[in-house]
Structure 1
């Protein structure tokens, strides 16, 4: 069925998981994480969320626009070049996707340590994450 079959499979998968989401959220996760209880929201938290989201949004928008321009240039070279480019990007993702994971880990870990008032531990957590990330990603450079 080709591309159309892949699209219909995606629609079917989303259609199956959509009704399961409320069940998981309201039943299974509520027992452990109390997902159905109300949490008060402060105006300061909303402002912080908006400011940080805008920073990250601009970053992601610029990355997406760059990839759009790059992909539009590659597609003009033909389907074989586009297919080769997609394969190369998938292989390349083994090199840069772990850095995204290490970055998210460092953000959470450092934030938790600073929140506990342990700034030195936060710095240590960040440096250990950098060393582990460099070591892990250097394996793909060999």
Structure 2
């Protein structure tokens, strides 16, 4: 009797185990493409970011487990760089194009557009997917 009950329950448990495995794999799997989420868009967009523009942004970088590895918010000092020039990781250069002043975005950046195979030890392991929340502050110089 117990054996037949176990035979009935075993397939259900196996199915649940498989579903759980796939659900967790999907959460932590390497994102292969840059994902851009707009969290806030200003009412008007007088200027959009283009390649060659010098911009300032505040950011908070996190790993998939939620660990913050860097944040300009805590320092109170936004980063300034030329968009599209390779001064920041590729995910930023691509993910900020078309962003409006005052807009808030969340970028999900795959390793190939982030810190690559080697990461940025000790805070960012190799092949890490990173999520970055960015708020574009100002344009300091426009090439447009």
TM-score range, shorter chain: under 0.3
Q: Relative contact order, CA 8 A, sep 6+: which one is greater?
A: 2
Scaled by the length of structure 1, the TM-score of the pair is 0.20
The answer to which structure has the higher strand fraction is: 2
